[in-house]
Structure 1
Amino acid sequence: MTKDRGRKVIATNRRARHLYVVLDSLEAGVVLVGNEVKSLRLGRVSLVDAFATIDDGEVWLHNLFIAEYAFGTWTNHAVRRKRKLLLHRAQIDKWSQRVAEAGLSLVPLSVYLNDGRVKVELGLVRGKKTWDKRQAMAERDARREIEREFSHRVRGMG
């Protein structure tokens, strides 16, 4: 059996980039049990409402939904259980200090396979205010309009 090489994105948390300002991100391994990896490889995962906490010097991922494996037996896993994230001690200490600041949280941005191993991209985020969201939407719309006008001029339509 050939080993998977490279990075294959399984799921992304697009809503997190809309609701939060991502200050920093890092890659973390995940402790999985049973048929969770098989279910992940089928893309049966959701990052909606998922978040991470630092408890007693360990990082835990909460509310990550991994559907039960369809061909599993009584050994199937709980779909929304608490999962441990694997990080270096220095990274945990650095991020626990930053999370202690007011208004910062840990949110998973994506789940992917890296050389056959399941990884989570964890983001250190601060919540956006409503005017931040409106400003980001206005910038995105302006960028789209510029690209649209540019493509029309290139084609000779405008």
Structure 2
Amino acid sequence: MAKEQGRKVIAQNKKARHDYAIDDTYEAGMVLQGTEVKSLREGRASLVDGFVDIDRDEAWLHGVHIPEYLNGTWTNHAARRKRKLLLHREEIEKIERRVSEKGYTVIPLTLYFKDGRAKVEIGLAKGKKSWDKRHAIAERTAKREAEQAVGRRLKGMSD
């Protein structure tokens, strides 16, 4: 079998970028069972309720739903079990220091295969307030309207 190349996205946590201000991102490997990998290759996973916890200098991914493999037998995995993340010690220590500050949390952003290996992109995030969300939406709208106005101007149309 040929070795996979590139990046194949399995699941994204789109709501995370809306609800949190992402400061740093890290790429981490995951310790998975065989049926979990097969289920991921089918493109089935959900990051919605996921979060990362640091326990005794190890990073653990909680709440990520990888459904049972349909053709699995008694060796199937639990859908919402905690999974160990593979990070360098310096990265774990840096994340742990930042999480100990008020308001920071670590959430999974994207689950993907990179060169045949399952990876998760985690983000060090701080929760947004409702006025932050409204401000971000207003900025996006203003930018879109400005680009449309420039486009109309280039086409020779009047405002």
**TM tier, smaller:** over 0.9
Deviation at 1:94, TM superposition (A): 1.3
Residue identity in the other structure for 2:13: N
Residue 93 of structure 2 corresponds to 93
Q: Distance in 1 between matches of 2:59 and 2:116?
A: 22
Residue 63 of structure 1 corresponds to 63
Identity percentage over the alignment?
59
Q: Distance in 1 between matches of 2:142 and 2:38?
A: 42
Q: Distance in 1 between matches of 2:153 and 2:67?
A: 48
CA distances 1:37-91 after superposition (whole Å, capped 9, x unpaired)? 1111111000101000001111000000001111111211110100000011111
Choose 78-87 or 64-73, whichever is displaced more.
64-73
Q: Distance in 2 between matches of 1:151 and 1:116?
A: 42
TM-score (norm. length: structure 1): 0.95
Residue identity in the other structure for 2:79: V
Partner of 1:123: helix, strand, or coil? strand
Residue identity in the other structure for 2:50: A
Q: Which runs of 5+ in 2 are unaligned?
A: none
Q: Output aligned runs, 1:62-81, within 5 Å.
A: 62-81=62-81
Q: Distance in 1 between matches of 2:58 and 2:109?
A: 19
Q: Distance in 2 between matches of 1:73 and 1:148?
A: 56
Over the aligned positions, Cα root-mean-square deviation in angstroms equals 1.2
Q: Distance in 2 between matches of 1:151 and 1:42?
A: 42
Residue 127 of structure 1 corresponds to 127
Q: Distance in 1 between matches of 2:93 and 2:145?
A: 44
Residue 42 of structure 2 corresponds to 42
Q: Distance in 2 between matches of 1:72 and 1:147?
A: 51
Q: Output aligned runs, 1:3-18, within 5 Å.
A: 3-18=3-18
Work out whether 1:144 is the aligned partner of 2:138: no
Distance 1:101 1:145, change over 3 A: same
Partner of 1:79: helix, strand, or coil? coil
Partner of 1:95: helix, strand, or coil? helix
Q: How many residues align?
A: 158
